[in-house]
Amino acid sequence: MSTDTAFAGSIPAIYDRYLGPLLFESYAEDLATRLAALSPQTILETAAGTGIVSKAIAERVPDARLTITDLNPAMLEIAKTRVSGDHVKVETVDATSLPYRDGDFDAVACQFGVMFFPDRLAAYREVRRVLRPGGAFLFNAWCPLEDNPLAKIVHESVAAQLPDDPPGFLKRTPYGHGSADEIERDLTAAGFEDFDIERVEFPSRAPSPDYPAKGFALGSPLRMEIEQRVRDRLEDIAEAASRAVAEHYGDGPVDSTMAALVVTARN
C-alpha cells in the first residue's frame, strides 16, 4: 500500500521517541559493530530513518565518509540532529534508484528498511552497483510477528478494534519479509553470490506499555490505516493496545524479546 512508506507529520517524532529505544538501538549497535570490523572508508546508508544506526556507525567508524539517505525528509531532519560533520552527507534518496556512481562505496548499510522497498530486487541491484568489488552490504529485517511479541500484541489489538476491516500494516510490511529463503532468493537474483543470514535476538524493553502501543499505533504508517477507517478513534485504539500489552507484561516496565535476520552480502 502507498501509505506503508509514509512517515510524515508527527509520525517521525513519535516513532523516534517510542520505537527507537524499544526496537532499534540494540540492532543499530550490532550492525555498526559488524560494519566497523570491515574498516570501510566510504559508507552509504539507505532508509536511514531518524538516524539511530547512523549515529552508531559514526561512532564506530569515525574516520569513514558517511552518506545518510532516506526517502522521507521529515525522518532525515531528526537524523541530522544525531550525526553531523565534514565527513557526513545527508540526502533525500530513493533506495531503488541511487544517484551514485558504480563502485562509489566500500559498504552499504540498511537498518530495517528493505521491508519497505516497493521493489527489493531493484534496490539490491542498485546496492551491488554502487559497491566496489569486495564491498559489503549489511542489513537487517524483522522476523515474523510470531517472533516479535510486542508487535504481535499491538497488531492483534488493533485488528480486534476494527474487525470489519482490520489494518494489516505490521504483518504485511515491517514483519512481512523475515524469510531467509526470500532474502536469499532476492540477493541471488540481484547478483550477490556470497552472503550470510543470521537470526539475532535481543531483549525489547520499555518503561511502560504505552511505548509499543503508541509507537506502532501513532508513530508508524499503521496510524494512517487506522485514521482511514475511524479517524476519531485513533487515541482510543492506541489506549486499547496499551491495555493489551499490560495484560501480558503488567502496568510497569515491559521486558520482552525481539528477533530479526541480520544479513551480510559481499560483492
Residue-wise pLDDT for 208-244, tens only, equals 999 999 999 999 999 999 999 998 999 999 999 999 9
Q: Which residues of 40-77 are buried (b: 16+ CB within 10 A; e: fewer)?
A: bebbbbbbbbbbbbbbbbbebbeebbbbbbbbbebbbe
Give the separation between CA 23 and CA 174, rounded to whole angstroms.
Answer: 12
pLDDT digits (tens, 9 = 90+) for 242-259: 999 999 999 999 999 999
Residue 10's pLDDT band (boundaries 50, 70, 90)?
confident
Q: According to the model, what pLDDT value does residue 235 have?
A: 96
Among 198, 238, 213, 231, which Cα is nearest to 152's?
213
pLDDT at 6 over 70: no
Residue 4's pLDDT band (boundaries 50, 70, 90)?
low
Give the separation between CA 114 and CA 49, rounded to whole angstroms.
Answer: 12
Residue 251 burial (CB count, 10 A): 12
Grid coordinates given for 146:
510470531
Phi, psi (rounded to 5 degrees) for 78: -75, -40
Average pLDDT over all residues of the chain? 96
Q: Which domains does the chain have, with CATH numbers?
A: 2-144+174-206+255-266 (3.40.50.150)
**Cell numbers 470489519 correspond to what residue?**
164
Whole-angstrom CA distances from 132 to 8, 96, 99, 110, 136 are 34, 18, 15, 17, 8
Give the separation between CA 161 and CA 49, rounded to whole angstroms.
Answer: 29
**Is this prediction's pTM over 0.75?**
yes
Taking 3-state DSSP, the helix, strand and coil percentages for the chain, each rounded to the nearest 5, stand at 50, 25, 30
